[in-house]
Chains A and B, each alone.
Chain A
Amino acid sequence: MSNQYPRFYIVCGVVLICLLVGIVFVVRDVQHFESGPPVDVSKIKGPMNAPIQIEEYSDLQCPACMRAHFAMKEMMEKYPDKIRLSYNHFPLSMHKWAKIAHRYAQCAAGQDQFWAYHDLLFEHQKEWSKSSDPNPLFLRYAWSIDLNKENLLTCLDDPATMDTIAEDVSDGRALQVRSTPTFYVNGTPFVGGRNFKERFEKYLRKELGLEEEK
């Protein structure tokens, strides 16, 4: 190659490639954001000093998020006191009822019933996703966990509810969340529901210093 190309040509190429690589690292550096401390305590579960701290960004109407939710639930039961999970709303515009589902979930959080309502929404996802009007179903789920009717209806109309959801979304975007579900496990991203359980458990056991299961 050195016979075929003059030295100047090769030097220019090396400089060019260094520049191209440098641009990527500079942009990556500029785009680096740190997530702020989660404010809404009602959307957090697990002990504060747990060795595994997770930030979850998921869409309640996303089937992959539902699969990841069940896997995460299993992991939290399998490794109690080891995981602290913080939930962040990330409704995608492609899912018709996602925004309204997140609104109900956020209102349940206002009554300290976020996780119960969140679990119900994932358990019945197929039912309300296909519905032409999911509101009666959402209300039925709310009554089943004894949410206060008046407070719920007021909260649903409150613009602050949507603002909280929008804040979660913008935090997620700042953390480069592009699809759901995305988990930041001790800062390491886990994206997508496929093979989530296997990937997550492998990482978890490594972090906890446990031997691999055979």
Chain B
Amino acid sequence: MKYFWVLARVCIGLFVAYAGFQKLIQPAENFAAFIRTYEMIPEVIVMPIATILPWLEWLGGALLALGYLTKYSAGLVSILNCSFLLVLLSGLITGSTLGSDCGCFGEASPLKVWHMLVIDSVSFIIAVRLAMRKKFPFSLDALLLKPPKVSKSKMKKRK
């Protein structure tokens, strides 16, 4: 079970980081256009979201995969997943994501809305569980926050 959580942490971290990285290396306008298809978001905040969100995904995902500040990065990833889920669901309910525009964003990603719903749901559950865990084997946290080894002689002295 220990290895399952390591694998889950790395996979989800890499997935989220990749999603953020893909957005970051393109003009922010591309992502802004995608956000606009979900009509619920006011125009004033479209560009700030399109600029900031990919950085949160990239850094949060990469830190989660590497296992640095794992609890917090898992928390950040779960918040991101939760917000994506809400946006996707409301888009499905209002019909704004059902290709009513032109679906022209399909070429950017081969994933359909329902694919993303499944992936985000699974990712959200795992990220929440990770945020609640105390130990993170095979992570930078485990490596850098290792308690200092106490020699046997010192142990005896303490006793």
Contacts and interface: CB of A to CB of B under 8 A. Distances in A.
Interface of A: 5-6, 8-9, 12-13, 16-17, 20-21, 24, 27-28, 31, 59, 62-65, 92-94, 176, 178-182, 188-195, 198-199
A13 B29 CA distance: 30
Contacts of A62: 102, 104
A93 B43 CA distance: 29
A24 B63 contact: no
Main secondary structure of the interface of A (DSSP, over half): mixed
Contacts of A6: 144-145
Interface stretch (B76-84, B105-113, B125-133, B149-157): B105-113
Nearest to B107: A92
B64 interface: no
Given A6-B145, A194-B33, A31 B25 contact: yes
B145 A180 contact: no
A180 B33 CA distance: 10
Contacts of B36: 192, 194-195
Interface residues of B, number: 32
- Among A8, A176, A198, max chain B CB count under 10 A is at A176
A59 B144 CA distance: 53
Main secondary structure of the interface of B (DSSP, over half): helix
B25 A5 contact: no
Contacts of B29: 182, 188-191
Contacts, number: 97
Contact of B101 (A17, A59, A63, A182): A63
10 contacts: A8-B144, A16-B68, A63-B101, A176-B25, A176-B27, A176-B30, A189-B29, A192-B33, A194-B39, A195-B36
B59 A92 contact: no
Contact of B63 (A16, A94, A199): A16
B144 A179 contact: no
A20 B138 CA distance: 20
Contacts of B62: 20
B30 A194 contact: no
Nearest to A59: B104
A205 B19 CA distance: 35
A94 B102 CA distance: 10
